[in-house]
Each structure stands twice: as C-alpha cells, then as structure tokens.
Structure 1
Amino acid sequence: MDDSLGALISAPLIPLRDEQRSARYAEEIAHARALHDADPDDYWAWVADQHRWLRPYDTVRTGELGDFRYFDGGLINVADNCVDRWAESVPDRPAVVWEGEPGDSRTVTYAELADEVSRLGAGLTALGVGRGDVVAIYMPNLVEAFTAIHACNRIGAIYTVLFSGFGRDAVASRLASARAKVVVVADAIYRRGKPVPLLDTLRSARPDAPTLEHTVVVDRTGNGVPLQEGETSYAALIDAHPEGSELVALDANEPAFLIFTSGTESRPKGVVHSVGGFLLGTWANAHWQTAITDDDVYWVAADVGWLTFPIQAVIGGLANGATIACYEGALDTPSTARFYEVCEKHAVTKVLCAPTVLRMLRKFGDTLAHDHPLPRLSLITVQGEPLDGETFTWTTETLGVPVVNAYGQTETGSTWTYPVAGVDDLKAGSTGTTLPGHACEVVDDDGRPVPAGTKGNLVMTRPFPTLARTVWDDHDRYLATYFSRFPGRYATNDEAVVDHDGHLWVLGRADDVINVAAHRLSTMEIEAVVGSHPRVVEAAVVGVPDDTKGTVPVAFVTTAGDAGDIAREVTQLVGDTIGGLARPDRVIVTAAMPKTRTGKIMRRLMREVLLHGEARSDTSALEDPSSLDTLREAVRA
C-alpha cells in the first residue's frame, strides 16, 4: 500500500448492531448481487420488474459506453410510477411533508399529489407545452417543485431545474441554452429570515431568453404579486383544469430532463438524462442507500437544484412510495437547533445531507445534540463531497445512527458505490463497494488497472441506466469530456483507491492532485488529515503555484473555540501522518468558507481568492456572497 494513504484508508470495518440490520434488505441485496454476478443486465431486468410499464420492453440493453440504450421498445411514464400507482394503492399515505423557513407547513398525500400533478399537466398543455418541449423550474424546495417536475413527466415535457440561488445572468444563460418554452417560478423564497425575489430576477433575465413564451408564478409569499404580460398564476392554472391531463407513454430512452453543471467553463453544460433509465436507476439508488420502509419519513436535506434531490426525493424516493420530508430554508435559521427541530416536528427517521451539514452539527456541539434526542432517527446518509473520519465518528457516536457514505456525480445520475443500508458493515470515510449493475476500475494514467492500496484514476467499465446520454446540443462534447481519455470507459475525472477489503475511497478531483517536488499528492488526502485535528471543524486544501516545488498545498480551516496555535499543530500533524512534502505551506483560519446552498465547499473559489484576491470563475451556485469577503480578510491576515 502507498505509505501516504495508510492513515486515510486503514480504517477498520465497523459492524452494524443487530437492531440496525434489515433481514428484508439482506435477502434482497443477496439476490440482486447474484443476478449481477450472472449478468448485470439480469439485475436491471429485475429492477425493471419493480415498475409499471405501459408497453413491455424488448431488450434490456443495446450498445456500449458512449452509445447505449436501455429497455428498447418499452414505453413507460415516470409520473405514473412515482405518483399514480401509489395514489391508487395507498392514497392517504403522505407523499410530501413540507416546512418553510418561517415555520409554515403542508402535508400532501399521494392522492392529492396525483390530482395536482394531473391538473398542472393540463395547464401546461393549455399553454402550448407538448412532448419534448422544455420547461424550466426556478424555485426552492416547495411542494410545487414536486408537482412541476411530475407534470412535465406526465405530459412528456423535458424539465430543467434552475438553482434558486442563481442570479440574472445564470438564469438567462440556462433558459437560452435549454430553449425553455415555459418557466415555473416562485415569486420569492425565504432564506436566512428574509425573502429573496426570484420573480424579479426572472423578469430581468427574460429579454435574453428568446424562446420563453409563458411564466407560471407560484405565490410563495402570499402577497398576491401583480402579474405582467405572459405571466399566469399557478393556483389559477390548477383551478382551471379539474379535468386533468392525459398520461403520455414515453420511450424509455427519450430525454426526461437536463441539468446544467457550473464551474470554470464559460458555457453551461446541460447534461441529459433519460426517462426510463433515470427512473429505474434512482429507484434502485434510494432503495439500497436508505432501506426505505412504509413507516419511514425520509428527509432529503438538499436543494432541489442539486441533482441529489430529484434522485433521492422527487423521483427515486417517490418511486419507492416513500414519505419525503422537504424543508425550504437554511438549517441554522432562526437558530442552530433548526435541524433537530425539523426532525422532531416531522418524526423524521432517515436523513440525506452533504457531509458539511454533519460538520455544522458537530460545530454546534454535543450539548445541542443532547438537548434534542432523536429516538426515531435510524440512519443518516451523505454524498456530494468526501466524508472525514472524525465527522463520521462524531455522528455515529453522538446521534447514535449508522452513516452511509455514497459517491456519484451529476453525470452518473445516481450514487453507485456505498454500503447497503441495513446490510453492509461500514468504514469511516469509505464509499463502500460497487452496487449491482455497475462496474469500475482504478487505473493509472495509461489506463492499466492498479493494485489495491494504489491510487489512480476512477473509471467505469460498462454502461448503466442513469448515466447521462449526451450533452444538450453538443454530443461531441459529451464524447470528448467523458470517453476520450480512456477509450471504452467512462472517466469520472476523480482519483480513488481500493483498499484490501475491496472498499472504494474517492480522493477528489484528478485536477485536485498536486505535484509537489515531483511527488503526486491528493489534496483530499491532506484535507482528511487536517480535518482530524480535534479543534478543526471544517477543512479545505487547495494547491497553489510555488517557484521551488512547483505546487504547494494551502489549508483553510474553521475551528471550534480559540484557534490558538492551530497553524503549527496542523502543519506538524500532516507532516507526521503523511510526510514532510505534504505539509501545508500555509494554514489560514477563516470564520466562513464559500459553499453552495447544499453545503459543498467551493474550493476553486478559495484558490482564486488566494491567488488573485478575488473570485474569477462562476459564482452562481454560491449561497452567501459575504463568505468571499470573510475569506479575503482571512487571506490578508
């Protein structure tokens, strides 16, 4: 094993307690793994059998990576599987339990959800939306986000969700790129105690969205905002169409939605996912990752603009017939107890969040957790960024629940490696083992598989249904981005290592691997060690140019209590654990880090502030712009 990885991946297996195990899921996953071992397509056929088809498919899969199809000949509808079939079998079961940041709440049963979805589908049809037209959804975590997505699914429209934190230019560019015909928008949202006017932002962006014909306005604030030409009230549209809409039978490989990635590129990249593939894959994802039961209340503590929310809540969660808890606002507003209060109020049993949420709870302290016991809580699952071992341990010991750490990407359309909930033993920080229906390798730069304990490039070696099918309007970009470096394999562009127990450890983006004096070091590897310091609550490590060594790591930390001599202590800890070359050139203590609304640390912005004194790339996903001011002050200190 590579010596520098020893401290990171030598974690022991942590067995689940007897009361945390599920006999049902143990039996199911054993069957699923046996199917996969015989032929992964046999596993996907089993997944397909869990759904309602409007016409049976002919073949499970045709083609290979870069050009593949699943369930050819089959016709299916996502809304039928996520809403209608549950409205028929369990009409009074809560589908969505919603809470707004001001404390208002609403519970919607599957029967009520089905009715509103059908009515909205008819309303969109009346506005001229047809099969293959694009509808943009620009709102936060509201019940109307669920209805808008499934109304599109019902009538065969393609939806794209715009992050509610986007500003005018980001909204305009995505509306134009998607060629959106209609947008569904909330007049405003509540965030950290104040309304954020989405409709005003949309109106300012509309002149640069030439294909946009209609705006459907959700009156979130209840202020009865006056409508302008081309704008329609959501409530009036629902009321006007009690007849509902026809369910459209869709080819399993038709585009269901596109989601735009943000980053350093000048053009937003619209990743396209398919109707049947995304539905079936996300059903399996939510099924294995959370071991959902009829009695669960599953809180997906993520923003609808992060693909995790459609995967785990709107599509995957509802496809499992789950009751989804949905919260609009910030998890520390109006007080640091809000996370616990939401769990208590809605009897939450399982939570999905980014690791940053757990680090936030850890920062708030053990006393707060002790004052808010959560006896119904049985599982927390995380994804979106690496989970450090200290936060894993704090959560399992303080909250008393197992933590399932999962890995996936926007392009993969689901997380595909994690310990199966209620079945697999855990390791602090690992992403478990590959799920049935998926296959991966860790390879060197020449594409050759590397042995256990050696880090390399993470690639996927066979297609699977939730993998993105193309980039909107630019298939050549899709092929070049994901399949050119390692022909015949999908390049995640992440570095990883498999340990001797077969557990996968994702170390971070390959472009976050820095070359220090001719030695390759993963910033995630260094970050994990920095985060293990007992007073460090959050850590981020970036690489910056150095005249002598080529690149050096710089660590940013937030601390619990007085920082003291934290810089010296962290530097020594990294040197003792990994080696002298990995020691941070500088340790910067900051009160805040730039994050997305879902809590992912935006390390590229931190690097830019360090190098240039300002952020120079896309900041549209940034939740709190003042965090950059805080960061600049810390860098100058």
Structure 2
Amino acid sequence: MSSTNITSVLQETRTFPPPAEFAAQAHVKSDAEYEELWWQAKNDPVAFWGSMSTNLDWFEPFSKVMEGEMPNTKWFVGGRLNASYNCLDRHLNTWRRNKAAIVWEGEPGDTRVLTYLDLHRETCKFANVLKSLGVVAGDRVTIYMPLVPEIIVAMLACARIGAVHSIVFGGFSADAVAERNNDAQAKVVITADAGWRRGKEVELKSAVDVSLEKSPSVRQVVVLRRTGSPVQMVPGRDHWWHDLMAEAPLECEPASLDSEHPLFIL
C-alpha cells in the first residue's frame, strides 16, 4: 500500500450516523442534545448532577451534591447507595425482570443469555462466596479472567458487598498481576484455568500461581473452569468456582455504602 493511501485512511472525514429508529431509543439522541447537556454540566454542575442523581435509587438521600473544590470535591455528601442494586435489584419488579441483561458469545462459538433475574441470582450467590472467603467491605479483589459472563458476576458481587475490584487484562503477565495485587493489596484473586484468544488457549491459573510468589497479601484464589486445561490447585488456598457456587445461598442483601465508597481500582 502506498503512503498516499495510508494518509487517506488516516484523514477519513466521513461520518456514519445511526438509523433514526435506533437513535430515538438513546438517552442522548443527537449531537445538539449532547452539547446542551455538556453546557449544563459546565455552567451549573450542582444543578446538573443533582438532576442526574434522580436516575439512581438511594438508600439514604444526600444532603449536598458537592462539597469542596476540585480536585478534592466530595460528591453526594451523606448519600448511601449500592451499584449492584442499581444495576439489578431495582429492575426485578419491572418488565426487565426476564429481559436479557447479557447476550454473550464466546470465541469457540458457545453462547449464553442471562436475564436480569439470572444475573441477580448469580451475583447474590457469588457475593455470598466472597463473604465465605472472609471478604468484607473495603477489601480488594483482583479479577484476572477471560471474557466470560462470570467476570460481570464477579464485579457485581464485589459491588454488592462493598469490596473493591481491580480488573487485570487476561493477556498480562504474572509479574503484571503481582504488581497489581501489591498495588491494591488484594485479598482474593478470581481467575480461570485458561481462556481463548484468537483460537489459542491462554493459561491464566498458572500465571496467578507465579504471581502469588511475589504478592503475599492474597490469601484465596477462586478458579473458574473455562477450557478444561489442567491446573495445580493449592489446598486451603485455591477453590473451584462451581464448588463454591453450589453451596452458596441464593439471597444476599446489598450493602448500604457511602457515595464516596470506592467501586473499583483501574
């Protein structure tokens, strides 16, 4: 390919607007509407974010939208809520209860559909799994998994009990996992035997094993069986996801968390 063609591609100016019927279903339906929202947020952030907060369910209302100056602003002072509740519970008495929340297709071609009700049940069960491993609000949990629905379950379960999750890309090395464990002072790692990427198996559990030689804060490891790849399980430390889930209770009340409580570490 000539440099002229490459330059042409880099300077692409065409736009491809979505179909009108699709745009009509969006929360922000046009560039003009987006610009208006942006100006509202810029000119009067208290009014804007106070209005946006009505889209969430609160366990306890906040007394002030903002307190202090950027970058040390406190938001929604005194308010208490839960991200898992807002993602799941509040939809269970609506038409969304049996609507697909996740439509997933894995690399080998396997598919799954989880409704809001399905996802709520799985989230509650795994939240109870985390609690059974000694995880409490404020503890940090590393998630080092392939792209499977269980990664969403793990994130929502952490949010439900107030644990702070740290997602680590499944292509990262054992050293990178160890660094993130140490930065977060993670107590638990959630992983899988392996995952699929571009038609090849990528081992994950073995990388976790190596990483834990350098990250002493981790006490428990939960392993999802994804590819069936053989792994070494350390008694007392390593647990199969399916074994723990089989024994977990179905109900788990969402923790009432301060609006400033951390949700995740990026």
Which whole-Å CA distance do the structure 2 matches of 1:40 and 1:216 have between them?
Answer: 42
What's the CA shift string for 1:585-605, capped at 9, x where partnerless?
A: xxxxxxxxxxxxxxxxxxxxx
What is the correspondence of 1:447-526 to structure 2 with a 5 Å cutoff? none
Which whole-Å CA distance do the structure 2 matches of 1:87 and 1:217 have between them?
Answer: 29
| Among 204, 213, 221, the residue aligned to 2:219 | 213
| Among 191, 199, 202, the residue aligned to 2:197 | 191
Partner of 2:70: 65
- Asked whether 1:109 is paired with 2:110, we answer no
What amino acid is the match of 1:246? Answer: E
Preserved CA contact (<8 Å) 2:193 2:230: no
| Among 230, 234, 244, the residue aligned to 2:241 | 234
Higher relative contact order (CA 8 A, sep 6+): 2
Secondary structure at the residue paired with 1:255? coil
Which whole-Å CA distance do the structure 2 matches of 1:165 and 1:175 have between them?
Answer: 16
What's the CA shift string for 1:449-475, capped at 9, x where partnerless?
A: xxxxxxxxxxxxxxxxxxxxxxxxxxx
RMSD: 2.6
Which whole-Å CA distance do the structure 1 matches of 2:14 and 2:67 have between them?
Answer: 38
- Asked whether 1:256 is paired with 2:263, we answer yes
Preserved CA contact (<8 Å) 2:187 2:220: yes
Partner of 1:83: 88
Which whole-Å CA distance do the structure 1 matches of 2:16 and 2:208 have between them?
Answer: 50
Preserved CA contact (<8 Å) 1:121 1:244: no
Cα deviation, residue 111, structure 1: 0.3
What amino acid is the match of 1:85? Answer: R
Preserved CA contact (<8 Å) 1:219 1:225: no
Corresponding pairs, count? 251
Cα deviation, residue 243, structure 1: 3.7
| Among 60, 75, 94, the residue aligned to 1:55 | 60
Cα deviation, residue 83, structure 1: 1.7
Which whole-Å CA distance do the structure 1 matches of 2:253 and 2:260 have between them?
Answer: 20
Which whole-Å CA distance do the structure 2 matches of 1:119 and 1:17 have between them?
Answer: 39
| Among 99, 102, 118, the residue aligned to 1:93 | 99
What is the correspondence of 1:564-575 to structure 2 with a 5 Å cutoff? none
Secondary structure at the residue paired with 1:70? strand
What is the correspondence of 1:200-599 to structure 2 with a 5 Å cutoff? 200-222=206-228, 225=231, 227-229=233-235, 230-259=237-266
Cα deviation, residue 66, structure 1: 2.5
Preserved CA contact (<8 Å) 2:121 2:250: no
Secondary structure at the residue paired with 1:185? strand
Which whole-Å CA distance do the structure 2 matches of 1:170 and 1:215 have between them?
Answer: 17
Secondary structure at the residue paired with 2:98? coil
Q: Are the structure 2 counterparts of residues 47 and 202 from structure 1 closer, same or farther at C-alpha, using a change threshold of 3 Å?
A: same
Partner of 2:172: 166
Cα deviation, residue 85, structure 1: 1.6
Secondary structure at the residue paired with 1:67? coil
Partner of 2:20: 19
Which whole-Å CA distance do the structure 2 matches of 1:170 and 1:11 have between them?
Answer: 36
What's the CA shift string for 1:263-312, capped at 9, x where partnerless?
A: xxxxxxxxxxxxxxxxxxxxxxxxxxxxxxxxxxxxxxxxxxxxxxxxxx
Cα deviation, residue 242, structure 1: 2.3
Which whole-Å CA distance do the structure 1 matches of 2:13 and 2:129 have between them?
Answer: 55
- Structure 2 length normalisation: TM-score? 0.85
Preserved CA contact (<8 Å) 2:205 2:231: no
Q: Are the structure 2 counterparts of residues 228 and 45 from structure 1 closer, same or farther at C-alpha, using a change threshold of 3 Å?
A: same
Which whole-Å CA distance do the structure 2 matches of 1:36 and 1:192 have between them?
Answer: 42
What's the CA shift string for 1:191-228, capped at 9, x where partnerless?
A: 12121110011111112111111000000114575632
What amino acid is the match of 2:245? Answer: I
Structure 2: unaligned runs, 5 residues or longer: 1-7
What's the CA shift string for 1:491-533, capped at 9, x where partnerless?
A: xxxxxxxxxxxxxxxxxxxxxxxxxxxxxxxxxxxxxxxxxxx
Rg bigger for which structure? Answer: 1
What amino acid is the match of 2:225? Answer: D
Secondary structure at the residue paired with 2:104? strand
Q: Are the structure 2 counterparts of residues 26 and 239 from structure 1 closer, same or farther at C-alpha, using a change threshold of 3 Å?
A: same
Q: Are the structure 2 counterparts of residues 22 and 200 from structure 1 closer, same or farther at C-alpha, using a change threshold of 3 Å?
A: same
What's the CA shift string for 1:297-339, capped at 9, x where partnerless?
A: xxxxxxxxxxxxxxxxxxxxxxxxxxxxxxxxxxxxxxxxxxx
Q: Are the structure 2 counterparts of residues 223 and 59 from structure 1 closer, same or farther at C-alpha, using a change threshold of 3 Å?
A: same
Which whole-Å CA distance do the structure 1 matches of 2:190 and 2:80 have between them?
Answer: 27
Which whole-Å CA distance do the structure 1 matches of 2:264 and 2:250 have between them?
Answer: 26
Cα deviation, residue 162, structure 1: 0.9
What amino acid is the match of 1:211? Answer: S
Cα deviation, residue 240, structure 1: 0.9
- Structure 1 length normalisation: TM-score? 0.37
- The percent identity for this pair of structures is 34
Structure 1: unaligned runs, 5 residues or longer: 1-6, 260-637
Q: Are the structure 2 counterparts of residues 223 and 65 from structure 1 closer, same or farther at C-alpha, using a change threshold of 3 Å?
A: same
Which whole-Å CA distance do the structure 1 matches of 2:15 and 2:217 have between them?
Answer: 54
Preserved CA contact (<8 Å) 1:188 1:198: yes
Preserved CA contact (<8 Å) 2:193 2:225: yes
Partner of 2:3: none
Preserved CA contact (<8 Å) 1:120 1:244: no
